[in-house]
Amino acid sequence: MTAAVVGPPALGAAPAAPTPAPVHRRWWPDAVAAFTWLTCLVVVALWESGGGVGQLVGGAADALGSVGRLAGLLSANLLLLQVLGMARIPWAERSFGQDRLARWHRWVGFTSFHLMVLHLVTIVVSYALVDRTGVLGEAWTMLRTYPGMLLALAGTVLIGMVVVTSVRAARRRLRYESWHLLHLYAYLGVGLALPHQLWTGTDFVANPGARAYWWTLYGGALVAVVAFRLVAPWRTSARHRLRVAQVVPDVDDLVHVRMTGHDLQRLRVAPGQFFVFRFLAGPGWTRGHPLSLSAAPTTDGLRVTVGVRGDDGRRIAALRPGTRVLVEGPYGRLTPQVLRRPRMTAVAAGSGVAPVLALLHARPGRGDVLLHRTRGPGAGPLAAELAALPGLTYLPLTGRRAGTGTSWLPAAHADVPGPAALLALSPDIRHHDVVVCGPGPWTDAVLRDLRTAGVPDDAVHVERYDWE
């Protein structure tokens, strides 16, 4: 029995379904959130032990200086926690998932930067009040005479560059690879800020407890980056020696890249996960490409599916068999292990169906449902493989995008409310695990309608990517 292919679907009202039994959440993400807040409380306690609260009522200069110290300490704390979040620690990746980890990373990054700006402004104004000079003159004097200030300024500029390029409007104008390379300058910014804290930070210099705390946090961040961003990828690449075996075109300007390697039975990867690949084929080999597996991994090899029109897509489409591949990972928690209900409904856009297909390969005959949004009127990417899967209800949503109405549906069905569409296409969706894979705005629209339709948050699993 192969997949039931239905399309275009008739959308309308759906019968109500009883609320499913609750599924318990894992404790690890909550523990990490608690740890984040605990470290902030420790920093506040260290600030208070240095007379921080008392200085708030000691006049304008003292109050501004105290606020500036606290802002700087909290900024440094969050920045180091963000470095830990960027370190690709495997159990954090598996517990949070990329979507939740990215939101946490973004919130911590922007909060840290705003606190850093507050620190700079309040400290300079405080010193200017004490010295009875202008703010700009005081800033220049501090840069010239205080140890570590020039390095701290350089670090601030680098971190500011990372923040500016992370604003969504700027992010959309950059290639992923360029944005990712610029993002790595955050590590250098953190390193350049350290001498300033060592040499002039009174909360560091005068307090043995503070020194122990900050050295532990800096040391932990450094060890995590070296271990998981440098040593682990080098070991994986050296052990498995991946090479391109074949590049096969598909519809919608997609290609499938199949890779083979050595000792792949020891590569601990599950369907639905992704790697960061670097294809060693001339200029551009340093660019990392985060790509989900589009087929269940086997001891014979791995397969990914890439859009030719995407970042560096044409270079990947032209890869020759035998091209060496450097690899980081596997990453992500979108694996069969997180699916706790008997059946699954997947909502995917374009090539976002690739990780879904890998999941479906691992769970044949379950009676799953796939809603697949594609650009053109014809068969979408991987359509032949999807149609051949046993027990799958495959619902292609084809046609041009809707300009109004329900934005995640094609224009022909844009007048149908999103929650009603979901319940009509998958009547038992409230009983299912729901996997959503697609570009950011499209995914957000689907998630809003899932909540309105009554799908529990703990049943929804998200993987975002840039599609258009």
**What's the rounded Cα separation, in Å, for the pair 422 and 401?**
17
Name the residue among 286, 274, 272 with its Cα closest to residue 315: 286
**What's the rounded Cα separation, in Å, for the pair 49 and 41?**
12
Say if residues 296 and 361 touch (Cβ distance below 8 Å): yes
Shared domain for 321 and 379, answered yes or no, is no
Q: Which residue has the tokens 């409904």?
A: 345
| The Cα angle at residue 447 between residues 444 and 453, in degrees rounded to 5 | 145
Q: Which residues pair with 437 in a beta bridge?
A: 348, 463
**What's the rounded Cα separation, in Å, for the pair 148 and 197?**
8
Neighbours of 21 (CB within 10 A): 8
Shared domain for 16 and 108, answered yes or no, is no
Q: Tell me, what's the pLDDT at 201?
A: 61
Q: Which residue has the tokens 């639905």?
A: 272
Radius of gyration of the chain (CA): 26
The CB-side HSE value for 57 (13 A sphere, CA atoms) comes to 2
Q: Which residues pair with 327 in a beta bridge?
A: 277
**What's the rounded Cα separation, in Å, for the pair 153 and 156?**
5
Shared domain for 265 and 184, answered yes or no, is no
The encoded tokens of residue 356 equal: 């879904």
> Which residue, 331, 351, 374, sits at the end of a domain?
331
Strand order, beta sheet including 274-279: 289-292, 274-279, 325-331
Shared domain for 266 and 179, answered yes or no, is no
Q: Which residues contact 75 (CB under 8 A, 6 or more apart)?
A: 112, 113, 115, 116, 118, 119
Shared domain for 270 and 313, answered yes or no, is yes
Beta strands 369-374 and 393-398, pairing class = parallel
**250, burial (CB in 10 Å: exposed 0-12, middle 13-18, buried 19+):** buried
Q: Which residues contact 360 (CB under 8 A, 6 or more apart)?
A: 346, 368, 370, 386, 389, 392
The encoded tokens of residue 451 equal: 């909540």
- State how far Cα 442 lies from the chain centre: 16
Shared domain for 83 and 103, answered yes or no, is yes
Residue 274 structural domain: 241-331
The encoded tokens of residue 268 equal: 């601990």
> Which residue, 236, 257, 283, sits at the end of a domain?
236
Shared domain for 162 and 219, answered yes or no, is yes
Shared domain for 278 and 382, answered yes or no, is no
Shared domain for 43 and 18, answered yes or no, is no
Shared domain for 96 and 229, answered yes or no, is yes
Shared domain for 34 and 177, answered yes or no, is yes
**Alpha helix stretches (DSSP H) within 135-264:** 135-145, 149-166, 168-171, 176-183, 185-200, 202-205, 208-225, 232-240
Name the residue among 204, 64, 202 with its Cα closest to residue 127: 64
**428, burial (CB in 10 Å: exposed 0-12, middle 13-18, buried 19+):** middle
**What's the rounded Cα separation, in Å, for the pair 452 and 450?**
5
Say if residues 78 and 108 touch (Cβ distance below 8 Å): yes
Query: CATH number of the domain that 107 lies in?
Result: 1.20.120
Q: Tell me, what's the pLDDT at 268?
A: 81
How far is the CA of 96 from the CAs of 92, 273, 328, in angstroms? 6, 13, 18
> Which residue, 194, 219, 236, sits at the end of a domain?
236
The domain total for the chain is 3
Query: CATH number of the domain that 267 lies in?
Result: 2.40.30.10
CA trace torsion 218, 223, 225, 228 (10° rounding): -150
Query: CATH number of the domain that 440 lies in?
Result: 3.40.50.80
Going residue by residue through the chain, which has 468 residues, state the pLDDT in tens, using 9 for 90 and above. 344 444 444 454 443 333 333 333 456 667 777 888 888 898 888 888 877 788 887 788 888 888 888 888 898 888 888 888 777 777 777 666 666 777 777 788 888 888 888 988 898 898 888 888 888 888 888 777 777 777 777 777 777 777 776 666 555 555 665 666 666 666 666 667 766 766 666 555 567 778 888 888 888 888 988 998 889 999 999 999 999 999 988 766 778 899 999 988 888 888 888 888 999 987 778 778 888 888 878 888 888 888 776 567 788 888 899 999 999 888 877 888 888 899 999 999 877 888 888 888 888 888 899 998 887 655 556 777 787 788 888 888 887 877 777 888 888 888 889 999 999 999 999 999 999 988 878 888 999 999 999 999 889 988 887 533
Shared domain for 306 and 379, answered yes or no, is no
